[in-house]
Amino acid sequence: MTQRYVLISPCRNEAHYMRQTLDTVVGQSQLPAKWVIVDDGSSDATPQILAEYAARHPWIEIVTRQDRGHRAVGPGVVDAFYSGYGAINPSDYEFVCKLDLDLRLPPRYFEILMQRMSEDPRIATCSGKAYVEEGGELIPERHGDETSLGMTKFYRVSCFEAIGGFVREVMWDGIDCHQCRMKGWIACSWDDPALRFVHLRPMGSSQDSIFTGRMRHGYGQYFMGTGFLFMAASALSRVNQKPYVMGSAAMLWGWLKAALQRKPRYENPEFRRFLRAYQQRALLVGKSRATRELMGRS
């Protein structure tokens, strides 16, 4: 079982991007034992492209879900992921990765992640860093080092099972990292050249607009339990990131709108207490030091 990993990719109408992801996975220095791709009701050429690659690579398996009539972000993506997870026996693998089909990966991506997790058994989940292409240059999406990125969540299967997997709620890709820290494990990402990947669809965007995506992020932070001061500081830190100022305003308005409407929050009081304490410490000393202190106590 050592060094066996399985990829699970929810997708819907990804014909424009998916060949780049498919080709860079097929070209990995260490191939997955299996890749389950869940077609969540695509109406473009996605099914034909998937059939083409599955015919050439026997370790690619396609799971088809009924068309719900629209792209479902957040909980809908997790539901599609679990359609793929249900098609495997997790104990057959050491690692599992939720992988989006709008990425271009470097050739040793999964080999390096597994090597680093083997070297440090405290790492529960990890990833590289996302970049976008603008004018021929690679621009970082600026994710924190204390999280694994949602578009490529690489997990130790034992840890994934121990935290109960992904919650089927918005902000699932933040909740899981904090749950790992609650158990004394590390969630992280590295900005090494060999682990930098291209995100073909901008972070925080949606099928409607990037502002809708940023508002959704703000609502997700509210749902998770993030306090207003931490949310404001997070939004302020992104004022110089496109779309300048307005993107940060949309994030903050998403949080405020949910608070004004008294939307429900994640029903885990112990988690929310842990999150608030961590965020309050991060406001005082920075996220990096707050995370190191937490790991030192674990």
Q: Is 35 helix (H, G, I), strand (E, B) or coil?
A: strand
Q: In the numeric block, which tokens belong to residue 264?
A: 């429900």
pLDDT band at 1 (very low <50, low <70, confident <90, very high): very low
- Give the per-residue pLDDT at 73: 63
Average pLDDT for 241-267: 92
For residue range 190-212, what is the model confidence (pLDDT) as tens digits?
999 999 999 998 655 444 568 88
Does pLDDT of 141 surpass 80? yes
For residue range 157-189, what is the model confidence (pLDDT) as tens digits?
999 999 999 999 889 999 999 999 999 999 999
pTM of the model: 0.90
- Give the per-residue pLDDT at 241: 77
- Give the per-residue pLDDT at 202: 63
Does pLDDT of 70 surpass 60? no
| Cα–Cα dist 64/37, whole Å | 8
| Cα–Cα dist 23/137, whole Å | 22
Question: Which residues, at least 6 apart from 201, have a Cβ–Cβ distance to it below 8 Å?
Answer: 17, 102
- Give the per-residue pLDDT at 72: 58
pLDDT band at 298 (very low <50, low <70, confident <90, very high): very low
Pairing of strands 123-127, 186-189: parallel
- Category of 18 on φ-ψ map: left (φ > 0), alpha (ψ -120 to 50) or beta: alpha
- Give the per-residue pLDDT at 180: 97
- Give the per-residue pLDDT at 31: 97
- In angstroms, the Cα distances linking 200 to 77, 139, 193, 281 are 18, 12, 18, 34
Q: Is 135 helix (H, G, I), strand (E, B) or coil?
A: coil
Does pLDDT of 243 surpass 70? yes
Residue 233: phi, psi to the nearest 5?
Answer: -65, -40
- Give the per-residue pLDDT at 203: 56
For residue range 210-223, what is the model confidence (pLDDT) as tens digits?
888 899 999 999 99
| Cα–Cα dist 32/93, whole Å | 10
